[in-house]
C-alpha cells in the first residue's frame, strides 16, 4: 500500500473533499488500494459493508437499553492541552480531530451526542482496534463459563499453532500482548505484518502471492523474536489469535458467538458487523462496525461491574476488577515496552488501555481516532468515531483524551458507584491495588467481617510518604464470586481466584 498523504490543515473543509458517488454508490476513484486513505475515509469508514464482505453480529430480539437524554453543551469547556501550547476548548479539539461523531454519558444519562458531515445516529462505523476490547470481553465470558484457562498455552486449544512462533505462549500472555511473536505494527510500511495481513484477508490487493491464503494460515506462519511473557508490545495478531481461540473452544463463528455472549445482551440498538475473509473468518483485531450509541452501551459494562444497562450480567465482576487492577508486572512490562506509547505509569490489560497511573481512566482505542473513554470517578463513558487522515497521530489522540478528562472534571465526582476507591494509590512503582466494586444489591446491610484484618503494609525499605492500604474486599463478594487462596499473615494481603487466575488485594503484589 502506498504511503498515506500529508494531513490536511485542521481548517480545511474535510467533509467536502469526498468525491462524488458513482452509479454503484462508491466514491469515484476509491478502490481496495486507497480506501483507508484521505479523502475517502469519512465515507468508507461508515460504509464498509458496501465494498467489503462482512457478517452480521445480531443484536437479538431483546430490549434496547434506553439512554435518557439530558443534553449539555460541553464544547466551551476549557482544555489545557500541551499539544496546543495554550488553553483550548472541547469543541475546538473535536473540530480539529476529524470527528465523525462523539457522545458522553454520565450517571446513565446521555449528555452529549454530536455528528459531523453526513454521519448520523444510525451510522455503522468501523471501530478499528476498539474491536479488540470487544473480543477481550468475549474471552472473559468464556473464562467465566469455564471454557478457557488463561494459564494454559494456546496450542493446548489450537493444535495448529504447535511448532510455530506462538507455541508456548499462554492465553494471558496473548491477552495482554506479551507474547514473543514477531509482528510489526508500522502502518505506513507496506511490508509490515499488519499490512501483509490485510492482503491475506482481502482488505488490500494481493501483491505478495507467497502469503498464506487465510487469516488462520497467516497466524500459523508467524515466527518468534522474543520470549513469551516479556515486555508489552502492541500487535494486532494477538487479538486474531484470541478470536481463533474463541471459535475453537465455543465451536461457533465469532459473529454468532459475539452476538450470543455480548451484543445481544448489552441492549444494543443496532446490529454490528465484522469484516471477514473468503472463509468467513473475522477480522477480529479491527474489523467490527457499530453505532456510536452502542459503543456507549458497551463501555458501560466497565462501570456496571460487567452488567449491561438492561441488567444482564455479560461478564463477571471479577473479570472487570481484574481488568482495572492489572497484574503484578503489567505496569512494569508496559514501561519496558519498545513501543512509543507516551503513557507513563500506564498499562495494557485484557485488551484495554490505561493511560495513567491508577485505575480511574480506561480506554478502548483504534487507529484513525476511534475511542471509548471510561472514567470511574465521574461514572462517565464517552465515545468518539473519527476519520484521521493518518492511522496514528499523537497530536490528535492526546488532546482527545484531555478533552474527555476536562469533561469528567467539569461534571465532578459521582456518588453512583458504591465503593469507588477515590483514595486509590499505587502500592509500588508497577503494581496497583483496587477493591472489587460490588453493586448495592450485593452489599450486606450489616457490617461485613473481613476475610483477614487489614494492617499497614510494611515496606522493604523506608518509603515517604507512607502508602495507604487498599480497601478490604467484602467477604460476601468473595463467597459468591471467588475463592480465597491465600492470606499474607504480615500484610493482610488477600489473594482471590475469580476463575481467571489469582489476584491479590490489599498487599504489595497481585
The CA–CA distances, whole Å, from 357 to 301, 326, 353, 394 equal 21, 11, 11, 19
Alpha-carbon distance of 235 to 237, in angstroms, equals 5
Cα distances (Å, whole numbers) of residue 234 to 164, 173, 354, 364: 19, 12, 14, 13
Give residues with Cβ within 8 angstroms of 62, minimum separation 6. 264, 265, 267, 310
Instruction: Classify 87 as helix, strand or coil.
Output: strand
129 is catalytic: yes
Which of 46, 89, 124, 129 is flagged as catalytic? Answer: 129
Long-range contacts of range 6-10, CB-CB < 8 Å, 24 or more positions apart? 6/389, 7/38, 7/388, 7/389, 7/390, 7/393, 8/38, 8/389, 10/95, 10/96
Q: How far apart are CA 129 and CA 310, in angstroms?
A: 26
C-alpha torsion sign, points 44, 283, 2, 179 = positive
Residues 468-471: contacts with CB under 8 Å, at least 24 apart: 468/423, 468/425, 469/506, 470/421, 470/424, 470/427, 470/433, 470/434, 470/435, 470/505, 470/506, 471/419, 471/421, 471/423, 471/435, 471/506
DSSP-derived 3-state class of residue 198: helix
Question: Residue 78 carries which DSSP code?
Answer: E
- What residue spans of 284-360 are helical by DSSP H? 292-299, 317-325, 330-335
Assigned C-alpha cell, 428:
509500588
The torsion defined by the Cα of 157, 160, 162 and 166, in degrees rounded to 10, comes to: -80
Query: For residues 126, 409, 82 and 111, what is the CA-based torsion angle, rounded to 10 degrees?
Result: 30
Q: Cα-flanking dihedrals φ and ψ of residue 103, to 5°?
A: -150, 155
Contact 353, 362 (CB under 8 A): yes
Q: What gap in Å lies between CA 86 and CA 139, rounded to an integer?
A: 43
- Hey, which residues are catalytic here? 129
Amino acid at each position: 500500500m502506498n504511503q498515506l498523504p500529508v494531513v490536511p490543515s485542521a481548517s480545511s473543509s474535510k467533509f467536502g473533499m469526498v468525491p462524488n458517488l458513482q452509479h454503484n454508490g462508491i466514491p469515484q476513484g476509491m478502490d481496495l488500494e486507497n480506501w483507508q486513505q484521505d479523502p475517502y475515509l469519512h465515507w468508507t469508514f461508515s460504509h464498509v459493508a458496501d465494498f467489503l464482505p462482512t457478517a452480521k453480529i445480531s443484536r437479538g430480539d431483546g430490549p434496547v437499553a434506553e439512554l435518557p437524554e439530558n443534553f449539555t453543551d460541553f464544547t466551551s469547556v476549557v482544555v489545557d492541552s500541551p499539544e496546543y501550547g495554550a488553553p483550548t476548548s472541547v469543541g475546538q479539539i473535536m473540530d480539529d480531530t476529524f470527528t465523525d461523531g462523539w457522545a458522553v454519558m454520565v450517571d446513565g444519562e446521555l449528555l452529549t451526542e454530536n455528528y459531523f458531515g453526513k454521519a448520523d445516529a444510525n451510522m455503522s462505523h468501523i471501530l478499528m482496534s476498539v474491536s479488540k476490547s470487544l473480543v477481550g470481553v468475549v474471552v472473559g465470558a468464556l473464562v467465566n463459563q469455564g471454557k478457557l484457562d488463561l494459564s494454559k498455552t494456546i496450542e493446548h486449544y489450537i493444535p495448529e499453532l504447535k511448532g510455530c512462533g506462538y507455541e508456548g505462549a499462554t492465553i494471558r500472555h496473548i491477552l495482554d500482548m506479551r507474547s514473543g511473536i514477531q509482528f510489526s505494527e508500522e502502518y505506513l510500511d507496506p511490508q509490515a505484518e499488519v499490512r501483509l495481513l490485510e492482503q491475506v484477508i482481502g482488505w488490500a490487493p494481493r501483491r505478495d502471492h507467497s502469503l498464506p491464503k487465510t487469516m488462520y494460515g497467516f497466524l500459523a506462519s508467524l515466527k518468534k523474536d522474543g520470549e513469551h511473557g516479556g515486555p508489552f508490545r502492541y500487535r494486532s495478531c494477538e487479538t486474531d489469535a484470541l478470536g481463533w481461540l474463541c471459535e475453537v473452544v465455543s465451536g461457533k463463528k465469532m459473529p454468532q458467538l459475539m452476538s450470543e455472549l455480548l451484543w445481544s445482551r448489552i441492549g444494543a440498538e443496532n446490529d454490528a458487523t465484522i469484516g471477514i475473509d473468503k472463509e468467513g473468518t473475522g477480522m477480529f483485531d479491527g474489523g467490527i462496525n457499530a453505532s456510536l450509541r452502542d459503543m456507549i452501551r458497551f463501555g458501560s459494562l466497565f462501570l456496571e461491574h460487567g452488567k449491561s444497562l438492561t441488567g444482564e450480567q455479560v461478564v463477571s465482576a471479577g473479570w472487570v476488577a481484574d481488568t482495572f487492577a492489572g497484574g503484578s508486572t503489567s505496569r512494569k512490562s508496559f514501561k519496558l515496552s519498545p513501543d512509543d506509547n507516551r503513557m507513563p505509569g500506564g498499562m495494557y490489560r485484557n485488551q484495554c488501555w490505561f493511560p495513567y497511573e491508577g485505575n480511574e481512566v480506561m480506554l478502548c482505542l483504534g487507529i484513525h481516532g476511534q475511542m471509548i473513554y471510561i472514567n470511574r470517578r465521574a461514572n462517565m463513558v464517552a465515545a468518539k468515531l473519527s476519520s484521521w487522515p493518518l492511522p496514528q497521530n499523537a497530536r490528535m489522540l492526546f488532546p482527545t483524551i484531555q478533552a474527555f478528562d476536562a469533561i469528567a472534571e467539569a461534571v465532578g465526582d459521582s456518588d453512583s458507584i458504591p465503593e469507588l476507591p477515590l483514595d486509590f494509590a499505587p502500592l509500588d512503582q508497577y503494581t496497583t491495588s483496587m477493591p472489587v466494586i460490588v453493586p448495592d444489591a450485593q452489599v450486606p446491610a450489616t457490617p461485613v467481617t473481613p476475610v483477614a484484618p487489614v494492617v499497614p503494609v510494611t515496606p522493604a525499605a523506608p518509603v515517604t510518604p507512607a502508602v495507604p492500604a487498599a480497601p478490604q474486599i467484602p467477604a460476601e463478594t468473595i463467597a459468591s464470586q471467588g475463592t480465597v487462596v491465600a492470606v499474607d499473615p504480615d500484610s493482610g494481603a488477600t489473594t482471590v481466584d475469580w476463575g481467571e487466575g489469582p489476584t491479590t488485594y490489599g498487599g504489595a503484589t497481585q
